[in-house]
Amino acid sequence: TQLLEQSPQFLSIQEGENLTVYCNSSSVFSSLQWYRQEPGEGPVLLVTVVTGGEVKKLKRLTFQFGDARKDSSLHITAAQPGDTGLYLCAGARAIQGAQKLVFGQGTRLTINP
Amino acid sequence: EPEVTQTPSHQVTQMGQEVILRCVPISNHLYFYWYRQILGQKVEFLVSFYNNEISEKSEIFDDQFSVERPDGSNFTLKIRSTKLEDSAMYFCASSELGRTYEQYFGPGTRLTVT
């Protein structure tokens, strides 16, 4: 069974602080996706990482894929209230063809003004 | 920007009834998926579909479930005889050839079985 564990599950910080959330597994994934999900809505794709050690930046968000492709992190610099939400990581095992994504349980982030 | 759409947004049905959830994937995508999310739990894979065939299905996707692409735009999930435990958000997703791991999700259908 492939599992993705996210930590922390809940994080509440003040506006302007930096934070990192983690997504860990004992399994190797061919790619890893980060999504953001608002209550009652579908996950919205933020980024995909496919190469071990890969780093991608999206404004104040930095995503990294572990060298062994078993883990990933999301770092937010100078967090803003608009960053509040549920962040999900999801991994794919196959290289091509239809993919089954395995999701973590999410990190619920609250940024207080 | 192209997006996945789903109808209805909320479906209430009685136990034992059949429901059909509808999705319109992004137009140039060839791979289609259904996932579900029970309230407070992880998003779970149900089924993937390509070239008019199921590519993979999970243990959840038993004989009560079926998928179909009845025309060139719609992708449907049918539950033949709903159970209370089928109550969940059902998400459709699609991806393009060559980047099948990048799946774009619809807004979901909230299914409530009473």
Distance from CA of A93 to the nearest CA of B (A): 9
Distance from CA of A79 to the nearest CA of B (A): 25
At CB < 8 Å, which residues of chain B contact A?
A: 4, 31, 33, 35, 41-45, 48-50, 55-56, 58, 89, 91, 95, 98-108, 110
pLDDT of A88 > 70? The answer is yes
Output Rg (C-alpha) for chain B, integer angstroms: 13
Position B72 scores a pLDDT of 80
Which of A21, A11, A5, A15 has the alpha carbon at shortest distance from A75?
A21
pLDDT tens track for A27-51: 999 999 999 999 999 999 999 999 9
Predicted confidence band at A1 (pLDDT cuts at 50, 70, 90)? low
CA distances to A2, A79, B33 from B76, rounded to whole Å, are 27, 39, 10
pLDDT of A15 > 90? The answer is yes
Position A94 scores a pLDDT of 79
The average pLDDT across B9-22 equals 98
- Token pair for residue A54? 């890969």
Cross-chain residue pair B108–A42, CB shorter than 8 Å? yes
Residue B44 lies in a domain: yes
Among B19-28, B67-76, B88-97, B102-111, the least confident range: B67-76
CB of B46 closer than 8 Å to CB of B111: no
The average pLDDT across A38-65 equals 95
- Token pair for residue B28? 């140039």
Residue B50 lies in a domain: yes
How many structural domains are present in chain A?
Answer: 1
**pLDDT averaged over chain A?**
94
Position B77 scores a pLDDT of 98
**pLDDT averaged over chain B?**
95
B69: domain CATH number is 2.60.40.10
Cross-chain residue pair A98–B50, CB shorter than 8 Å? yes
Nearest beta carbon to residue A41 from set B41, B56, B108: B108
Cross-chain residue pair A42–B107, CB shorter than 8 Å? yes
d(CA A87, CA A23): 10
- Residue B65's identity, in one-letter code, is F
How many structural domains are present in chain B?
Answer: 1
A95: domain CATH number is 2.60.40.10
Q: What range does the domain containing A103 cover?
A: 5-112
Q: What range does the domain containing B93 cover?
A: 5-97
